[in-house]
């Protein structure tokens, strides 16, 4: 039997997607071969690839003047390539720091550009996001980068920041497609697939086409987003299995009612879990400022660390997997992405109440 898996990523996938992939694994569409055994340039895979892109465009309403890429390399590679593609050598770029992943993004570009910290919430231990009204933007910056949802610290920007015409680049690795989003507010949006979009091994980039006209920095063709757009993400052999699976996830999300429906479910799941934490009389606590609490990743602490081991072993025995917090923060973390059913969060909340009664 499958358990409820609260892993931060690679994360749980929708069961119907896994079943369909299993059913199709040996013989895709009557070909007598698996989807991962055929050429990426053949008409069969090209159809799968094109359908995945069309479904993603429909799912998150991507305007036509944005290119969509499905690439290997993960979000971290995108973090580095952004500087190579969209900023000139030594040009200023603005970074907003709201947690571990925005610091990673900053680290990736240091060899290429002059990153400036437009705002940071580090002094609060990243328990809040720096409000966009406090950001100090450089007039000469090539772009402004921020992390929409911090997977480890559990803080999230709930609105798209207003950056007054600057090219806004958002890391949406852990919150893409979790709620409606106005893509036209962005220069670039990127996400590793392994939380809300599918399996690890493919990342999605959504790039406003005019940015592709920027010269950027000297770089090999394989690091050049213009070349990837021209080559329709097939400059070299793409991660076909991951792309196909992501396509199944997009279809599943559309069939379930699209991002509006997932926004409602995600709001209910997050409210249920935060209420259980806040209403536990101090047995559990979440330290994030109320308005910045993530709907996707909920870090929480037990009132006494001595209970951590028992919480983890008993929750696992109860069919609740991967609740151990990230080593940077300790404690616990429940990741409740789109594919986590409401019943999973209910089971977690029931377990937490029971655990608190027995150990309180």
Q: Say if CB 243 and CB 221 are below 8 A apart.
A: no
Of 81 and 276, which CB lies nearer to ligand PLP in the complex structure?
A: 81
Q: Say if CB 98 and CB 146 are below 8 A apart.
A: yes
Q: Does residue 242 interact with ligand PLP by CB under 6 A?
A: no
| Residue 120 annotated as binding site | no
Q: Is-catalytic flag, 171?
A: yes
Q: Does residue 344 interact with ligand PLP by CB under 6 A?
A: no
Stretch that binds ligand PLP, among 168-176, 210-218, 225-233, 303-311 (CB under 6 A): 168-176
Q: Does residue 319 interact with ligand PLP by CB under 6 A?
A: no
Q: Say if CB 259 and CB 178 are below 8 A apart.
A: yes
Binding ligand PLP (rule: CB under 6 A), the pick from 49, 75, 188, 298 is 75
Choose, from 55, 171, 241, 243, the residue flagged as catalytic.
171
| Residue 241 annotated as binding site | no
Site for ligand PLP in 9-68 (CB under 6 A): 9
Spatial distance between the Cα atoms of 292 and 54, rounded to a whole number of angstroms:
32
Binding ligand PLP (rule: CB under 6 A), the pick from 151, 196, 286, 335 is 151
Spatial distance between the Cα atoms of 212 and 226, rounded to a whole number of angstroms:
6
- Regarding beta strands 332-335 and 4-5, do their DSSP bridges make them parallel or antiparallel, or are they unpaired? unpaired
Spatial distance between the Cα atoms of 356 and 281, rounded to a whole number of angstroms:
10
Of 101 and 143, which CB lies nearer to ligand PLP in the complex structure?
A: 101
Stretch that binds ligand PLP, among 37-45, 69-77, 80-88, 338-346 (CB under 6 A): 69-77
| Residue 292 annotated as binding site | no
Q: Does residue 5 interact with ligand PLP by CB under 6 A?
A: no
Q: Does residue 299 interact with ligand PLP by CB under 6 A?
A: no
Q: Is-catalytic flag, 195?
A: yes
Spatial distance between the Cα atoms of 149 and 42, rounded to a whole number of angstroms:
37
User: Least CB distance from residue 247 to ligand PLP, whole Å?
Assistant: 18
Of 147 and 233, which CB lies nearer to ligand PLP in the complex structure?
A: 147
Choose, from 103, 195, 269, 324, the residue flagged as catalytic.
195
Q: Does residue 170 interact with ligand PLP by CB under 6 A?
A: no
User: Least CB distance from residue 339 to ligand PLP, whole Å?
Assistant: 16
Of 187 and 192, which CB lies nearer to ligand PLP in the complex structure?
A: 192
The CB density around residue 65, as the number of other CB atoms within 10 Å, is: 11
Q: Does residue 147 interact with ligand PLP by CB under 6 A?
A: yes
Binding ligand PLP (rule: CB under 6 A), the pick from 135, 171, 206, 294 is 171
| Residue 151 annotated as binding site | yes
Stretch that binds ligand PLP, among 162-170, 171-179, 249-257, 326-334 (CB under 6 A): 171-179
Q: Does residue 156 interact with ligand PLP by CB under 6 A?
A: no
Within its chain, how far is the Cα of 348 from the centroid? 22
User: Least CB distance from residue 268 to ligand PLP, whole Å?
Assistant: 23
Of 66 and 101, which CB lies nearer to ligand PLP in the complex structure?
A: 101
Q: Say if CB 301 and CB 330 are below 8 A apart.
A: yes
Q: Which residues are catalytic?
A: 101, 171, 195
Provide the annotated binding site: 41, 75-76, 101, 151, 171, 194, 236-237
Which residues make up the interface to ligand PLP (CB under 6 A)? 9, 74-76, 101, 147, 151, 171, 173-174, 192
């Amino acid at each position: 039997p499958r358990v409820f898996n609260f892993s931060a990523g690679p994360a749980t996938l929708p069961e119907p997607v896994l079943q369909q992939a299993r059913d199709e694994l040996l013989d895709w569409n009557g070909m007598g071969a698996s989807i991962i055994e055929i050429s990426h340039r053949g008409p069969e895979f090209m159809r799968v690839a094109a359908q995945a892109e069309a479904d993603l465009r429909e799912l998150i309403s991507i305007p036509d003047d944005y290119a969509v890429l499905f690439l290997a390399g993960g979000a971290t590679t995108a973090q580095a390539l952004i500087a190579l593609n969209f900023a000139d050598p030594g040009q200023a770029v603005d970074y907003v720091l709201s947690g571990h992943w925005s610091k990673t993004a900053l680290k990736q570009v240091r060899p290429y550009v002059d990153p400036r910290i437009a705002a940071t919430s580090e002094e609060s231990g990243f328990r809040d996001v720096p409000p966009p009204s406090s950001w100090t933007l450089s007039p000469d910056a090539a772009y402004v980068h921020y992390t929409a949802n911090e997977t480890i610290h559990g803080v999230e920007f709930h609105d798209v920041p207003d950056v007054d015409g600057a090219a806004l680049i958002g890391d949406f690795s852990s919150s893409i497609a979790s709620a409606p989003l106005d893509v036209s507010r962005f220069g670039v949006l990127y996400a590793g697939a392994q939380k809300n979009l599918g399996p690890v091994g493919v990342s999605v980039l959504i790039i406003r086409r005019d940015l592709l006209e920027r010269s950027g920095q000297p770089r090999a063709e394989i690091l050049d987003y213009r070349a990837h757009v021209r080559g329709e993400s097939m400059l070299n052999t793409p991660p076909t299995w991951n792309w196909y699976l992501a396509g199944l996830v997009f279809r599943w999300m559309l069939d379930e009612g699209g991002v509006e429906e997932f926004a409602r479910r995600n709001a209910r799941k997050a409210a249920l879990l935060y209420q259980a934490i806040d209403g536990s009389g101090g047995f559990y606590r979440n330290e994030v400022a109320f308005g910045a609490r993530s709907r996707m990743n909920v870090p929480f602490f037990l009132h006494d660390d001595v209970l951590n081991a028992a919480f983890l072993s008993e929750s696992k025995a109860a069919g609740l997997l991967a609740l151990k917090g990230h080593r940077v923060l300790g404690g616990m973390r429940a990741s409740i992405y789109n594919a986590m059913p409401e019943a999973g969060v209910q089971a977690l909340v029931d377990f937490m109440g029971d655990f608190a009664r027995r150990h309180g």
